[in-house]
Amino acid sequence: MSRRQYALPQRNDEHPPDDTGCTVLHVDMDAFYASASLLSRPELVGTPVIIGGGGNRGVVLSATYEARRFGVASAMPMARARRLCPTATVVAPDYALYSTISAAVMATFETITPIVEPLSLDEAFLDVAGAVRRLGTPAAIGQLIRDTIHDEQGITCSVGVAPTKFVAKLASGLAKPDGMVVVPRDEVVTFVQQLPVGALWGVGDKTEEALLRLGLHTVADIAHTPLDTLRRALGESAGPHLHDLAWGRDPRHVEVQRRERSIGSDETFEFDVDDPAYIHRQLLKLSDRTAARVRSARMMGRTVTIRVRFSDFTTITRSRTLRDPTDVSREIFDTAKSLYDALGLQRARIRLVGVRMEGLVESEGAPIQGTLDEPDHGWREADRAVDRASARFGAGSVRPASLISDRERERRRGERGERGVDPGTPRPRPANG
């Protein structure tokens, strides 16, 4: 059962809910990746749009609510999403844009309170207890956040206002899209106990199956089950935890976490690939994309990690920690390529590769080490020039020549009135076997 099917207890008056003591806010952007992508595609607003790789072997990153009505969901295979919603427009992700907007959203949160706990690029918990005197009630602060993000970023968000993190997150789900739900302190138990057991934090498919076998279908059922029974069925830790949540008890505080621990990108191929030159080009593209996101977050990374997934879904990772932190595309690519070549994969059939930067530190004040083959103005300055061009003309407007396909080169020659050779196919041949 989705969170949209939850209902708040019925009210008998027209007064706004009492938000006294409801100082935990959960703020969640609405269809964030889709909403951000459509900022430059206003003609697609109100239509089904899927964000993800164009090939059938990719997965859905996000989808507009129009596409979700057809059953399209995040992490769904792209082939299935296309079958469910054949009229949807598929748009490639723009990770640099997402990082930029996310950084701005998090900066907005930090103008409200220093106690911000990001959960991902598009959601966070806020403890606004210290902001009430300055900015008004928790509900007023939630509305201020919604208005500010809409005015400054052009996207919408939903806000849950509650005494605890668990209830605030449930409330923001009920508020979607573009709304706010307040759960008063004296209505928490009623609100929580009307939910299905699958709504509880930490209940996955297996735990839900175990609860249903016990005949427990709602949170109220769990609340009124003896604690010893829950311990025997779910374990010494999970049993008491779910019992506490069933009575609205969540002792966790909002924990300040200001920066991502890692930033990276993956690429799933349309078919298995065994061409090392093609893999190198994909590593270059992923290194450029990852470096741009690292710079957008005003970070630098010490460790480069690659991920390789084979045709049988076996996955390996390899990492190398650099002497100095970096945000330079070329240095990240050189390291990623070296890690891949060291694997000695001769004609191995590969399904996915990824590049990730870890050990992130603030770029301001980080040591910068030049290299012997660095041009006069430096690879770092070149990267920043590319960032400026991308911000003005769109992601991918400037990129390494090796990432431009033969077909695109031919098109550009034609636009300039030049003669060219017959375009070749830009994609590799499938791996043998």
Query: How far apart, in whole angstroms, are the C-alpha atoms of residue 277 and residue 177?
Result: 45
Please give, one letter per residue, the 3-state secondary structure of the chain: CCHHHCCCCCCCCCCCCCCCCCCEEEEEECCHHHHHHHHHCHHHCCCCEEEECCCCCCEEEEECHHHHCCCCCCCCEHHHHHHHCCCCEEECCCHHHHHHHHHHHHHHHHHHCCCEEEEECCEEEEECHHHHHHHCCHHHHHHHHHHHHHHHHCCCEEEEEECCHHHHHHHHHHHCCCCEEECCHHHHHHHHHCCEHHHCCCCCHHHHHHHHHCCCCEHHHHHCCCHHHHHHHHCCCHHHHHHHHHCCCCCCCCCCCCCCCEEEEEEEEEEEECCHHHHHHHHHHHHHHHHHHHHHCCEEEEEEEEEEEECCCCEEEEEEEEEEEECCHHHHHHHHHHHHHCCCCCCCCEEEEEEEEECCEECCCCCCCCCCCCCCCHHHHHHHHHHHHHHHHCCCCCCCHHHCCHHHHHHHHHHCCCCCCCCCCCCCCCCCC
Tens digit of pLDDT for each residue in 291-305? 988 888 888 888 999
140 lies in a domain?
no
135 lies in a domain?
no
Q: Is the pLDDT of residue 87 over 80?
A: yes
Query: What is the reported pLDDT for 77?
Result: 87
16 lies in a domain?
no
Tens digit of pLDDT for each residue in 47-65? 999 998 766 667 898 999 9
Do 231 and 336 share a domain, yes or no? no
Q: Is the pLDDT of residue 339 over 90?
A: yes
Do 363 and 270 share a domain, yes or no? yes
- Is residue 417 very low, low, confident or very high in pLDDT (cuts 50, 70, 90)? very low
Q: What average pLDDT does the segment 347-358 reach?
A: 91
The whole domain housing 216 covers 191-246
Query: What is the reported pLDDT for 133?
Result: 93
CATH code, domain with 266: 3.30.1490.100
Do 235 and 283 share a domain, yes or no? no
Select the more confidently predicted residue: 263 or 375: 263
Query: How far apart, in whole angstroms, are the C-alpha atoms of residue 222 and residue 215?
Result: 10
Which residue type occupies 137? T
Catalytic-role residue among 66, 117, 123, 260: 123
Query: What is the reported pLDDT for 370?
Result: 46
123 lies in a domain?
no
Q: Is the pLDDT of residue 395 over 70?
A: no
CATH code, domain with 65: 3.40.1170.60
Known catalytic residue at 208: no
Query: How far apart, in whole angstroms, are the C-alpha atoms of residue 269 and residue 354?
Result: 11
Do 276 and 364 share a domain, yes or no? yes
Domain count, the chain: 3
Do 239 and 276 share a domain, yes or no? no
Tens digit of pLDDT for each residue in 207-237? 888 899 989 999 999 999 999 999 988 888 8
Mean pLDDT of the chain: 82
What pTM, to 2 d.p., does this model score?
Answer: 0.64
Binding residues: 28, 122
Q: What average pLDDT does the segment 299-320 reach?
A: 89
Tens digit of pLDDT for each residue in 2-45? 444 455 544 444 677 899 999 999 999 999 999 999 999 999 99
24 lies in a domain?
no
Query: What is the reported pLDDT for 56?
Result: 63
What are the contacts of 74-80 at 24+ separation with CB within 8 A?
A: 78/50, 78/52, 78/53, 78/54
Do 274 and 239 share a domain, yes or no? no
176 lies in a domain?
no
Tens digit of pLDDT for each residue in 137-196? 999 999 999 999 999 999 999 999 999 999 999 999 889 999 999 999 999 999 999 989
Query: What is the reported pLDDT for 424?
Result: 40
Do 289 and 205 share a domain, yes or no? no
Do 278 and 371 share a domain, yes or no? yes
Burial pattern 67-83, b for ≥16 Cβ within 10 A else e, equals: bbebebebebebeebbe
Do 226 and 281 share a domain, yes or no? no
Query: What is the reported pLDDT for 2?
Result: 42
Tens digit of pLDDT for each residue in 100-113? 898 899 999 999 99
Do 231 and 270 share a domain, yes or no? no
Q: What average pLDDT does the segment 239-256 reach?
A: 90
Binding residues for Mg(2+): 28, 122
Query: What is the reported pLDDT for 345?
Result: 85
Do 273 and 352 share a domain, yes or no? yes
402 lies in a domain?
no
- Is residue 344 very low, low, confident or very high in pLDDT (cuts 50, 70, 90)? confident
Do 307 and 232 share a domain, yes or no? no
